[in-house]
Amino acid sequence: MYENFDAELGWAALHMPRTRAAVAALPALNGVRLACNMHLDLKMAPLVAGLIDRGAEVFLTTCNPTTVQNDVVDFLVKKGASAHAWRDMSDSDWSDSFDKALAWGPTHLCEMGADLTSRLHQSSNGPAIIAGLEATGSGISRLGGVTPRYPIFNWDDLPVKEGLHNRHMVGLTAWHTFFQTTHLTLHEKTVVVIGYGLVGQGVAAAAKAYGGQVQIAELDPARALQAKYDGWPVVDLLEAMPQADVIATATGAKGVLAAKHLQALKDGAFILNVGHVAQEIDVPFLKQHPHSQPMPYVDAYRLPDKTLYLLADGSMFNLTAGYGDSLNAFDVTLAVMAAGIGHIVDAGKDWQPGLYLLPQSAWKAVL
């Protein structure tokens, strides 16, 4: 993806002043063994490199093999990180990576999606983790089924994360990626957004700003009502399918767009996902049909009566086919993450096991 990695890394670091300052304010991290399970794209590099410079030992795994940028992993390994992550690694390699990270003996975890914590809690063995951080709504949902053996600090639900990154960046970057990938705009198109959390709200607002005619499908009655109060038509998902030109899943849940929905779509409809899990769409159903790739990241599946276009194989579209968040917005996200790492290193041992919102005192100085 990068034509000149060093130049792009320098550009990213230049435009992330809050992250640079937050890393500089961290205590010395000698003795900290930090396993990071995260999207490994360019924007993560300045932060992870900064942690290594501060003395941390780092083991990198990914929360999503389709978003890994191998240049970033190579760079961070040269900086001294250990890693078991590469673009499009197989499911079994991906699963092994969690065991390898845990066998490496981390003292702290920094996660997006709770893969390491979930794996660790499947057995009574494993490293004695002092504290962890979780950055995603999907990870927080998974942790609902776990009784943590160490304190885990949720920072997805901080207004500064969900209100900024989830609400404003995902929609903007998803549609930019749509334009670049398909060379089409949303004008004259009916866009159905599935899920009206902060991400879906931003995806809907950005689609409207870019000329789309937006409808919302939402299971939760309170969120559906909120969508109505925000002025959106709220539709039944199955009934909306025949009119939809573009469908965006933004739920973080599995099996949202099932075979019956896909069969009800019209010829030429586009399908994309911005949620954390690739299984929001029944991609295996589509893969039963003949297929071609008219454009990079655009797969055309020929059903008996129509062609459907699946973008980025149903994985997180804005990060897989595009650059994801802008540097300025992600600067805030990463500065909070760096402050969170400072918190789990400094104070993690003083908290009882459990799931907590990252306290404001830990991050407010970095804004």
Unique residue bearing structure tokens 């991609």: 283
Q: Give yes or no for residue 199 binding ligand NAD (CB under 6 A).
A: yes
Looking at 13, 110, 250, 327, which residue binds ligand NAD (CB under 6 A)?
Answer: 250
Looking at 13, 35, 44, 274, which residue binds ligand NAD (CB under 6 A)?
Answer: 274
Q: Give yes or no for residue 168 binding ligand NAD (CB under 6 A).
A: no
Q: Give yes or no for residue 42 binding ligand NAD (CB under 6 A).
A: no
Q: Give yes or no for residue 220 binding ligand NAD (CB under 6 A).
A: yes
Looking at 137, 151, 171, 314, which residue binds ligand NAD (CB under 6 A)?
Answer: 137
3-state secondary structure the chain: CCCCHHHHHHHHHHCCHHHHHHHHCCCCCCCCEEEEEECCCCCHHHHHHHHHHCCCEEEEEECCHHHCCHHHHHHHHHHCCEECCCCCCCHHHHHHHHHHHHHCCCCEEEECCCHHHHHHCCCCCCCCCCEEEECCHHHHHHHCCCCCCCEEEECCCCHHHHHHHHHHHHHHHHHHHHHHHHCCCCCCCEEEEECCCHHHHHHHHHHHHCCCEEEEECCCHHHHHHHHHCCCCECCHHHHHHHCCEEEECCCCCCCECHHHHHHCCCCCEEEECCCCHHHECHHHHCCCCEEEEECCEEEEEECCEEEEEEHHHCEHHHHCCCCCCHHHHHHHHHHHHHHHHHHHHCHHHCCCEEEECCHHHHHHHC
Binding part of the chain for ligand NAD, among 79-87, 98-106, 245-253, 286-294 by CB under 6 A, reads 245-253
Binding part of the chain for ligand NAD, among 21-29, 40-48, 56-64, 189-197 by CB under 6 A, reads 189-197
Looking at 14, 184, 209, 219, which residue binds ligand NAD (CB under 6 A)?
Answer: 219
Cβ 216 to ligand NAD, closest distance in Å?
A: 9
Q: Give yes or no for residue 59 binding ligand NAD (CB under 6 A).
A: no
Looking at 111, 218, 245, 331, which residue binds ligand NAD (CB under 6 A)?
Answer: 218
Q: How many positions of this chain bind ligand NAD (CB under 6 A)?
A: 30
Looking at 217, 244, 272, 335, which residue binds ligand NAD (CB under 6 A)?
Answer: 217
Cβ 20 to ligand NAD, closest distance in Å?
A: 22
Footprint of ligand NAD on residues 314-343 (CB under 6 A)?
Answer: 316, 318-319, 324
Cβ 67 to ligand NAD, closest distance in Å?
A: 9
Looking at 151, 200, 314, 348, which residue binds ligand NAD (CB under 6 A)?
Answer: 200
Binding residues for ligand NAD, rule: CB under 6 A, are 136-138, 162, 166, 170, 194-200, 217-220, 223, 250-253, 256, 274-276, 316, 318-319, 324
